[in-house]
Amino acid sequence: MLICPLCQGPLSTVDSGVACPSGHRFDRARQGYLNLLPVQHKHSRAPGDNQAMVEARRRFLDGGHYAPLARRLAELSAERAPQRWLDIGCGEGYYTEQIGGLLPDAEGYALDISREAVKRACKRAPHLTWLVASMARVPLADASCQLLASVFSPLDWDEAKRLLAPGGGLLRMGPTTDHLLELRARLYDEVRPYDDQKHLSLIPAGMRLTHSETLEYRLRLESPEARADLLAMTPHGWRASAERRAAVIDEDFEVNVAIRYDYIVKD
């Protein structure tokens, strides 16, 4: 199901990677992933999250703080029973691993534009196909997936529609306006609300929302390390002042975790 990111021809396995009929070849890294992000498709030398951000997210997520979110995402994915699925913007693979664990017989793919993220992600579930690739040029064939997962990630709706088989769906997981409200109040003079349904207005013709739900719970961040990692893995880590970031790290507090899940089906 893989296609060449340069000419869109089918990719076949060769000795140390994959190649298309036009002769474009892509080697498999020693960690196991395929780099299908050609240099001409990069907007910077090292696009996506850097090593520090990836490590902060890995530590925070492996600490179990968002375990209920990952569990529910995996359950909703398994209920759809896809034959082939893709995690778009997989990061360091925490959520991908959870989905794969409940879909052991399905063909699973995951991609991210950050090589640092995918290098770590592929260690979590070697049986999945891990890709460094652009979310705007996903190297998978048209209508090849029954399920797409998008977790805290920007989304190219036209590309999602292209990838989905008829009857397949996109499972989107993102924050509500109450998510991490206490953290935001500590970092900014004014906490700006946002419309957590705005993305629904972007759904293209031929796709429709069939399910929505919200998961909410209280989370106490007791260790300075967890608070520092949470800051480092979100935009708040560089938007807020150094003084306010330091104050957040110094004092334990409780935050609201509030996430919505939307399932959007292609007709």
| Average pLDDT per 10 consecutive residues for the chain, totaling 267 residues | 96 94 94 87 58 91 97 98 97 97 98 94 96 94 98 94 98 96 92 88 96 98 94 83 91 95 98
Cα–Cα dist 140/168, whole Å: 15
In this prediction, residue 48 carries a pLDDT of 57
In this prediction, residue 47 carries a pLDDT of 54
Which domains can be identified in the chain, with CATH numbers? 27-176+192-214+258-266 (3.40.50.150)
In this prediction, residue 52 carries a pLDDT of 85
DSSP class of residue 18 equals: E
Cα–Cα dist 96/14, whole Å: 26
In this prediction, residue 165 carries a pLDDT of 98
10: left (phi over 0), alpha (psi -120 to 50) or beta: beta
In this prediction, residue 237 carries a pLDDT of 76
In this prediction, residue 46 carries a pLDDT of 53
In this prediction, residue 69 carries a pLDDT of 98
In this prediction, residue 239 carries a pLDDT of 82
Instruction: Report pTM.
Output: 0.94
